[in-house]
Amino acid sequence: MRNLRIKWLAVVTVLLSHIIFIPDASANNCSVTYGTVSGTTRSAQITTGSGCVWAVPAGVTSLSYLLVGGGGGGGGARASANGTLGGGGGGAGGRVFASTLSVVAGSQITITVGTGGAGGAASTDGGNGSSTSITYLGSNTTVGAGNGGKGSNSTFDQANLSGDGGANNLYSGGASDWDGGGGGAGAGGIGPNGIDIGGQGGTGGAGGIGVSSSILGTARFFGGGGGGGGTPSANANETDGFGGAGGSGVGGSGGGGAGVAPTAGAANTGSGGGAGGWRNTSTDAQRAGAAGANGIVVFTFTKATAASISSIAITSSAGADRTYSLGTTINVTVGFSETVTVTGTPLIPIVGLSSRNLSYSSGSGSSTLVFAYTVQSTDLNLTGISITANSLTLNSGTFTDTGGLAPTITHSAISASSNHLVDGVAPTISTSAAISITENSTTVATLVASETATWEVLGGTDSAFFALETSTGILSISSRDFEDPQDGGGNNVYEVSIRAIDLGSNASTSRTFSVTITNLAEVATIGAPTLTATAAKGISVNITISVDVAGKVRFFVNGKRIANCLSVATTGTAPSLTATCAWKPSTTGRTTLHAVLTPTSNQYLGATSATLNTFVNRRTNTRS
């Protein structure tokens, strides 16, 4: 059975060593000050926090630790409203506890640092300190705090004129003796009693001794008691008393003597505060006690190797076109061998862009940091960006690993790749915004941009009349009639808004094209000449011509003008008008006839009729 238990213990130990602890994201991280004790021994000091967490550094399996509870505040001397002398009692030092702890790297220790008690006002007790604790894997270790010293009471009982020193849960405070307050207990011993020096005067008891620890490399005291308050004489003929000295040089000293104020416990030693001293001329504010010191939690551990960079890569996607456009973000992710904390804004220069850097963006408190850069309007690289090896720079910032060491930040290069092109330069449209075409035309223009682009109609008052070939930039419009404008303004100016988009998806500024439709003079329609009868020499016959617009018609025979038909006005209503010429042939034989129309309106061009080929016969009847 004993062997079976040993085997199970071995299995549990192996399993525990392989547990991966996931940090509690909701927990508040402690504020930690790291240092080197000696060689590879590191220290972590936590001086404030309630329920905060600290993660065990990478590679660490055991810790030494020191816990110090908060010190009590010194009591206040007798208030001025009561003329009887009386000093306050010194505050007690918090308890001190040291031990070792087996841990797993990455696991969390929950920490509460005890706070010091406030100094008591005149005739008021000093505040109690609070305890310090750590909790690891459900196991809690707590050290007690020091209590506040008693304030000088408000009675005239001369046996209790001054306050007793505060106690902790191991040692008692010193008793007051007439006019001298008792010293506060220390972490290492009781508080001495106050001392009556006869007449109207007393000296405060010294603070109890603290506990010495060399956890930080050199001996240092913690938990000293606060000195009791003294009562200087009421007049020049009597002996002055003084405040008691603080315990072990870290407890606060009591007030007393000519204008000597009490002092607080030394910072983060968990020492008690000095008690208030009494003087006839002092105000109540000058008779108050001093505060106890906050406690502290100290861990020491061995960590020989700092964190290092394990990977670096461009982790953003440039999209299907493999190009980062204006306003898009390039991300580079840097992996470390352990969790790191970042301050400031470290940088990584981008090769291929002029004076551009990726700036630290996120990831502090993890092993993966993201550096980011947002593409600007002048950025252009069509061969691929890259990163030079070992180019990461702190830029006045810091990296700190789990043991407080500065990581090694050497890293590999990232080669240029066609998957990471940059085009932050938007195209510009060079085609003039003002275009004129004649009515009935359909081609407007072939649009031109500063670089290869696709085209897009954004809208415009008259966009419905336009068509745009997105790849070629050919802009066309449905056939327009000058005499019947359909544009929004009714003035034959058609508007459409268009932009160009380059290969990097950068869009140009929208340009509104104003296409003016100009009038085109239309060719009038004229029919072929017709005769009302067979032509015969010397006999008058009418030549009739049909046209679609009003005007004057000139008639020709064999290419020569007919004298009486040089300008025959049309009659009728458009588009069915006619002009008639009375022609008397002067010769016989083959003859050609045609007519030319000159329209009255300048919106139409003149027209020439087809030629009528006819034959002029001889006259068959006798001339009358």
Rounded Cα gap, residues 460 and 494, in angstroms: 9
The upper half-sphere exposure of residue 584, i.e. CA atoms within 13 Å in the direction of its Cβ, equals 5
pTM of the complete model? 0.69
Q: What is the rounded distance in angstroms from the CA atom of residue 74 to the CA atom of residue 207?
A: 11
Quote the CA–CA distance of 261 and 273 in Å, as a whole number: 11
Q: Check pLDDT > 90 for residue 571.
A: yes
Mind listing the pLDDT tens digit for each residue in 242-296?
999 999 999 999 998 777 999 999 999 999 999 999 888 888 999 999 999 999 9
**Per-residue pLDDT, 83:** 65
Compute the C-alpha angle 465/468/474, nearest 5°.
120
Give the span between the Cα atoms of 283 and 288, in whole angstroms: 9
pLDDT at 280: 81
**Rounded to an integer, what distance in angstroms lies between the CA atom of residue 321 and that of residue 60?**
48
588-601 average pLDDT score: 95
Which CATH number does 520-614 carry?
2.60.40.10
Which pLDDT score is estimated for 25? 54
Q: Fold for domain 432-516?
A: Immunoglobulin-like (2.60.40)
Q: Which helix (H) or strand (E) holds 116?
A: none
| pLDDT (tens digit per residue) in 247-256 | 999 999 999 8
pLDDT at 10 over 70: no
Given a cut of 50, whether residue 232 has pLDDT beyond it is yes
CA-CA distance, 547 to 543, in Å (whole number)? Answer: 13
pLDDT at 191 over 80: yes
